Structure 1
Amino acid sequence: MTTTLIIDHPWKESFNHEMLNRLIAGLEQDQKIYQVIDLNKDGFNPVMKAEELAVYQQGSVLDPLVLHYMSLLRETTQLVLIFPVWSYSSPASLKGFLDKVLLNEFAFFDGGNGIQPLLTIDSVVVFTTSDQSMESLEQHCTRSYKHQLTTTLTDIGMRNISWHHLGSVKKLSIEERQSYLATVYEKL
C-alpha cells in the first residue's frame, strides 16, 4: 500500500508544507510506504502545449515528468492532495497536473460511450487552505470547485474522497495552527 502526497505550493515555509511535513512524520512513524510529488520543486509545467494536445486523445505523453507521475500513480492506493485555494480554485500546477497526467487510456477510457475509470485508488484525502473564511468560500466557489474535483477523481476510479478545508489561515494564532496540524495525520 503506497500513499502518494501531492503538494502544490511554491513556498516551503507555508502552512501547506507544514501539513505535508506532519503527514510525512506520521507515515514514517507508522513505517508506511509513501512518495511525494512537489509540483513546484519538480518544476512541473502545467501548460498543455499544442504538440501535447495533438497526442492527448491517444494517451501519449511527450513530457518525461508526466510519465514519471503516471508511474507513481500506478503504485498509489491512497492519494493526498495539499494546496491553497487561490482565486476560488487550485493553483495552476495542480490543474495542469490533472489535465496532463490523468490521460485517456491511463486514468480513464473514453471510447464515445462515456468515461470508464482505469485508475484504482482506494482513498483520496484533500487538504485545502485559504485566507478567506469557509463561509465566504462556500458563497463563491468551494461547493462548485469541490464538486468538479470530486467528480473528476471519481470518474477515473478514485474512491472514498474526503475533503478538509482550513479557512482564515492568516487570522489563526500559533496555537490554533498547531492544534490543526496535530489532527491532520489522523484524517488519513
Structure 2
Amino acid sequence: MTTTLIIDHPWKGSFNHGVLNHLIEGLEQDQKIYQVIDLNKDGFDPVMTAEELAVYQRGSVLDPLVLHYMSLLRETTQLVLIFPIWWYSSPASLKGFLDKVLLNEFAFFDGGNGIQPLLAIDSVVVFTTSDQSTESLDQHCTRSYKHQLTTTLEDIGLRNISWHHLGSLKNLSEEERQAYLTTVYEKL
C-alpha cells in the first residue's frame, strides 16, 4: 500500500506544510510506504499549452513531470491532497495537476459513451484550510467546490473520499493549531 501526498502551497512555513509534516511523521512511525508530490517545489507548470492540448485527447503527454506523476499515481492506493482554499477554490497548481495528469486512457476512458474510470485508488483524504470561516465558505463555495472535486475523483475510480477543512486559520491560537495538527494522522 502506497500513500501519495500531494501538497499545493508555495510557502514551506505554511500550516499546510505543517499538516504534511505531521502526516509524514505518522507514516514513518508506522513504517508505511509513502511518496510526496510537492507541486511548487517540483516547479510544476499548471498551464495547458496549445501543444499539450493538441495531444491531450490521445492521452499523450509532452511534460516529463506529468509522466512522473502518472507513474506515482499508478502505485497509489491512498491519495492525500493538502491545499488552502483561495478565492473559493484550490490554488492553480492543483487544478492544473487535475487537468494535465488525469488524462483520457490513463485516469479514465471516454469513448463517447460516458466516462469509464481507470484508476483504482482505495481512499482519498483531503485537507484544506482557509482564513475564512468554514461556515462562510459553505455558504459561498465549499459545497459546490467539494462536489466538483469529489465528482471528478469518483469519475476516475477513486473511492472513500473524506474531506477535512480547518477554517478561520488566522484567528486560531498556536495551541489550537498544534491541537489540530496532532489529529491529522488519525484521519488517514
Q: TM-score, normalised by structure 2?
A: 1.00
2:70 is matched with 70
Q: Separation in 2 of the partners of 1:40 and 1:100?
A: 15
User: Deviation per CA, 1:128-147, whole angstroms, max 9, x where unpaired?
Assistant: 00000011101110000000
Cα offset, 1:52, TM superposition: 0.3
Task: Establish whether residue 177 from structure 1 lines up as the match of residue 177 from structure 2.
Answer: yes
2:34 is matched with 34
Cα offset, 1:29, TM superposition: 0.1
Q: Separation in 2 of the partners of 1:151 and 1:139?
A: 19
User: Deviation per CA, 1:143-187, whole angstroms, max 9, x where unpaired?
Assistant: 000000000000000000000000000100011001000100000
Unmatched 5+ residue regions in structure 2?
Answer: none
Q: Separation in 1 of the partners of 2:106 and 2:135?
A: 37
User: Deviation per CA, 1:79-122, whole angstroms, max 9, x where unpaired?
Assistant: 00000000000000000000000000000000000000000000
Give the 3-state SS of the residue equivalent to 2:55 in structure 1.
helix
Q: Separation in 2 of the partners of 1:24 and 1:2?
A: 12
Q: Separation in 2 of the partners of 1:43 and 1:145?
A: 25
Please tell me the residue identity of whatever aligns with 2:180: Y
Give the 3-state SS of the residue equivalent to 1:183 in structure 2.
coil
1:104 is matched with 104
2:81 is matched with 81
Q: Separation in 1 of the partners of 2:3 and 2:165?
A: 20
User: Deviation per CA, 1:52-86, whole angstroms, max 9, x where unpaired?
Assistant: 00000000000000000000000000000000000
Q: 4+ residue runs of structure 1 moved beyond 3 angstroms? A: none
Q: TM-score, normalised by structure 1?
A: 1.00
Cα offset, 1:16, TM superposition: 0.1
Q: Separation in 2 of the partners of 1:86 and 1:139?
A: 15
Please tell me the residue identity of whatever aligns with 2:87: S
Unmatched 5+ residue regions in structure 1?
Answer: none
1:118 is matched with 118
Q: Separation in 1 of the partners of 2:76 and 2:42?
A: 19
Please tell me the residue identity of whatever aligns with 2:125: V
Cα offset, 1:26, TM superposition: 0.1
